[in-house]
Amino acid sequence: MKIKWAVMVVALATFCGSSSAEASNYCGAAGYNCCPTAACQPSCCYTACKVERQTCYKTVYETVYEQEEYTCHKTVYDRQVEERQETCYKTVMEQHERDCTYTTCRPVFETSQVERRYTVCKPVWETSYKQCNYTVRRPVWETSECERTYTVCRPVWETTEKECRRTVMKRVVETVNRERCYTVRKPVTTYRTVTKQTGCWKTEQVYVPGPVQRRCVTDECGCPRVCMVQCPGHYTCKRVWCPQTVQCQVPCTTYKCEVVRQSCPVQVCRYVPETVVEKVPVRTCRMVREQRTCKVPVRTCRWVCETKTRQVPVRTCKMVREERVCTVPVRTCKMVTETHVKKVPYCVAKKVPYTRTFQVCKMVPRQVAETRTRCVARCVPRKVAYEVCRMVPTTVCPTNCNSGCSTCDGGCSSCGGGCADGNCGVSGAPQTHETEKPAPEPAPEPEAEPEAAPNPGAEA
């Protein structure tokens, strides 16, 4: 269907683009503009296409969103805490003792004497004398005197005075008033109301029912039977505590910090530099050289050789083997087995019940109404105008031009020669298609197939 409408649009555009009705044949390839003026006048009736416009309406559906309030319910969870008690068991370790028998080995040492034979080598020393000659050198000392000249340095001491300047720090003490701040805590007494729980004991009489006992009674038929009989009760006195709330004023003392300023004299010590000049005695030593002569005894040694003889003892050692016997103490160890009994402590685990109170948090649901706003889609129909162009065939018959070119718009060059534009004497001659073209608008849509109304529920 779209291809069919596209072909019609191309044909309409080609027809409107030609300059004359005659030029529309053969898609404008055969035109009369190139013919001479005498050949422009038609000789018989011909069929021309006339453009007719028709205004049509189509229904267009638009989607409009409207706000709508609605009430919904949502679940809100409230937190509640409740106390529960549970019985737990804890493990208590109890210590007991039991007899344990064990065996030990005790060492017993015994000492015995054992004879042991061994061989020793005893040294035997023998002394013999041997004659030995040797040469010795004996020193012979001779003493003589010799003069010797030497130079000595004698010290000469001189004392001079020298000025010495030094800077000392002199202490200067001044008294200055300085402000001192300290904090004092002052008591402030206020009274506050305290709720005090008091009460008193009251004596009340309480009826105590008697015990239920089994008794043998005789029924209406005279048969004995056992039944439960309630014994008469009695009244007892019971002390009951009656609480009472009393409000009293309790003094409360607090300490408030307060800053106190006090001016007090303070001695300030400072040091001032001062230059002191002193005369210091300086002792200098000067060395003076002197020559002296002295006699030095010189002792010389001269060696004299002498031959001497002496007896040199020579000691030789000879080893003699000798067998000996000795008594050696031998200590032996013997293990003696002993049985002992001792108390061994052991622990026994025992489960002890106790009650524990804990809090359980649970969420309680409740429904809360809430107003919300939502957008609701609604389809609104609307009429839209559009134009449809149709080509209507029209039959045109020419008339003879005998009395001039009075009917021509542009005039004639000569009456018998026809009209210059080729439209002389033609009643209802077709105009150029430029004047018959509609205003440029988008291509029309077929009226037979209107658009389907959208589904509001699908868009929503």
What is the pLDDT confidence band of residue 380, given thresholds at 50, 70 and 90? confident
pLDDT of residue 143: 87
Tokens describing residue 259: 């800053």
Asked if residue 363 lies in contact with residue 24, where contact means CB atoms within 8 angstroms, the answer is: no
Stretch 265-282: mean pLDDT, rounded? 87
Check whether 409 has a pLDDT greater than 50.
no
- Taking residues 217-237, report their average pLDDT: 80
The confidence score (pLDDT) of residue 234 equals 83
- In the numeric block, which tokens belong to residue 308? 């001497």
CA proximity to 428, closest of 22, 19, 45 = 45
Please say if the pLDDT value at position 319 is more than 80.
yes
| Residue 15 confidence class, pLDDT cut points 50, 70, 90 | low
HEC string of the chain?
Answer: CHHHHHHHHHHHHHHHHCCCCHHHHHHHCCCCCCCCHHHCCCCCCEEEEEEEEEEEEEEEEEEEEEEEEEEEEEEEEEEEEEEEEEEEEEEEEEEEEEEEEEEEEEEEEEEEEEEEEEEEEEEEEEEEEEEEEEEEEEEEEEEEEEEEEEEEEEEEEEEEEEEEEEEEEEEEEEEEEEEEEEEEEEEEEEEEEEEEEEEEEEEEEEEECCCEEEEEEECCCCCEEEEEEECCCEEEEEEEEEEEEEEEEEEEEEEEEEEEEEEEEEEEEEEEEEEEEEEEEEEEEEEEEEEEEEEEEEEEEEEEEEEEEEEEEEEEEEEEEEEEEEEEEEEEEEEEEEEEEEEEEEEEEEEEEEEEEEEEEEEEEEEEEEEEEEEEEEEEEEEEEEEEEEEEEEEECECCCCCCCCCCCCCCCCCCCCCCCCCCCECCCCCCHHHHCCCCCCCCCCCCCCCCCCCHHHHC
For residue 7, the model assigns a pLDDT of 58
Average pLDDT over the chain, rounded to an integer:
77
Could you tell me how far CA 166 lies from the centroid of its own chain? 68
Whether the predicted pLDDT of 360 surpasses 50: yes
Give the count of beta carbons closer than 10 Å to the beta carbon of residue 436. 17
pLDDT at residue 415 greater than cutoff 80: no
Of 79, 77, 80, nearest to 367 by C-alpha is: 77
| pLDDT reported for residue 5 | 65
Instruction: Report if pTM > 0.75.
Output: no
Other CB atoms closer than 10 Å to residue 361's CB: what's the count?
Answer: 8
Give the confidence band of 433 by pLDDT, cuts at 50, 70, 90.
very low
Higher pLDDT, 178 or 18: 178
* pLDDT band, residue 313 (cuts 50/70/90): confident
Beta bridge partners of 234: 208
The answer, yes or no, to whether residue 440 has pLDDT greater than 50, is: no
- Closest-CA residue to 213 (of 226, 225, 224, 229): 229
- Partnered with residue 326 across adjacent β-strands are 116
- If pLDDT is split at 50, 70 and 90, which confidence band does 11 have? low
Whether 263 shows a pLDDT value over 70: the answer reads: yes
Residue 276's DSSP bridge partners are 166
Task: Please report the pLDDT score of residue 455 as a whole number.
Answer: 44
On the question of pLDDT at 24 being above 80, the answer is: no
- pLDDT value at residue 395: 84
Average pLDDT on 216-240 reads 80
Percentage of residues of the chain with pLDDT beyond 90: 0
- In this structure, the number of other CB atoms found within 10 A of the CB of residue 430 comes to 18
Is the pLDDT at 138 greater than 70? The verdict is yes
Count of all residues that appear for the chain in the document: 460
Domains of the chain, by residue range, sit at 2-65+378-459, 158-293
